[in-house]
Structures are given as C-alpha cells and as structure tokens.
Structure 1
Amino acid sequence: MTSATGQLRLLPWVGPEGKPCCLAGDAGGYLSRLADDMEATQLGLTGELFQEAKHVLDKGQWTSGELHLLAVQ
C-alpha cells in the first residue's frame, strides 16, 4: 500500500518481528508526528555521541573499554 503520492515512509522503529515499518498516508497524522519526534531525538543523541567520541579519540589515549562503549552506543 502506498500513499496518495505513491511514497512510503520508513519509520524509525521496527515491528514485533524485527522487520522495518513503513507508513503510507497523511504526512501530518499522529504516527508521522511521532516518527518526526523520534527522529529528532535520535539525531540529537547522535550529535552528543559524536562529540563524546571526538573527545575520547582526540585524547590520543583511550582504553579498549572506552572504544567498546563508543562502538556499542
């Protein structure tokens, strides 16, 4: 199923079986706004993680634990 414009939106979460979720329909609906909010949060957290990674790597001395934590995050 596709929206009136023929586009599907990939949502920033997966379904119960771990499969990607897509949204067809109005871009101003509840799920679309929820996805917008979640994507904005994810981008903000990504920016913070990037700054933390830069700080750790700029030191030139890091532990394997610090690198592991950055990779996991």
Structure 2
Amino acid sequence: MDANARDFNDLLDEMYLIRKGTIVLFNSFSTEALLRIGVASENKMSVRALGYLFSGHQMHHLNVIKEKYLKK
C-alpha cells in the first residue's frame, strides 16, 4: 500500500505500537541472548547491536516526519 495514501495518525499509531513491541521483545531477552551473533545483510551482528540499529532507524523515521509533515 502507498504510505502517502494512509491516514497520518494511523501511521503514527503503527509506529508507536511497533516501537513498543520491539522494546517489550528486547526486554524479554537474557544477557546471553543479547550477545548471540548472527548474520544480517551479510554482516556478523549481535542481537544487542540489532536493538541499537532498530533504535536509530526509528529516530530516522521520526526525523522524516518532523521534516516533511511538522515544519509546515
């Protein structure tokens, strides 16, 4: 679906729910689980590193919203 055709408030609600779900998921991981190494985009990466990556990606989306929709 074209994101531009979606209701802005629905998109914000979805972002909030995904963020909240990700936080709940990562809080459920043991220290051992967070240190496990896997491969993402052909690079070795820990589960913990993915958490930081997800956080940064969320910040990117919030900045896009601020720049495109809230400066008007």
TM-score with structure 1 setting the length: 0.46
TM-score with structure 2 setting the length: 0.47
- Tell which has more relative contact order, 1 or 2 (C-alpha 8 A, sep 6+): 1
